[in-house]
Amino acid sequence: MEHLARWLRGWVPEWARRQLEEENRRLRQKIDRLQRENDRLNTYLDGLEAGLRAARSLGRKAGEEE
């Protein structure tokens, strides 16, 4: 990463470097947001799976078939 930064300072115009850094910042924010959403959805799915397992268990105890 440091090699890229040195290259950017030496060869790329200042406006292009700033634009690239801004785009990278936006993309990092988007990744963070999507990772949080993914964690939330995985937690939701874990709860659904636990509920389904519990429902099946209750059904078996009551003599029902799966």
Summarize pLDDT for 32-57 with one digit per residue, the tens.
999 999 999 999 999 999 999 988 88
* Burial state string for 32-53 with b = 16 or more CB within 10 A and e = fewer than 16: eeeeeeeeeeeeeeeeeeeeee
Residue at 42 is within a domain? yes
Residue at 44 is within a domain? yes
Six-digit token string for 56: 């099946």
Residue at 37 is within a domain? yes
Residue at 31 is within a domain? yes
- Say yes or no to pLDDT of 65 above 60: no
d(CA 61, CA 40): 32
Q: What is the mean pLDDT of residues 21-36?
A: 97
Question: Domain span at residue 41?
Answer: 21-60
Residue at 1 is within a domain? no
Q: What is the pLDDT of residue 17?
A: 87
Residue at 14 is within a domain? no
- Residues in the chain, how many? 66
Residue at 55 is within a domain? yes
Domain count, the chain: 1
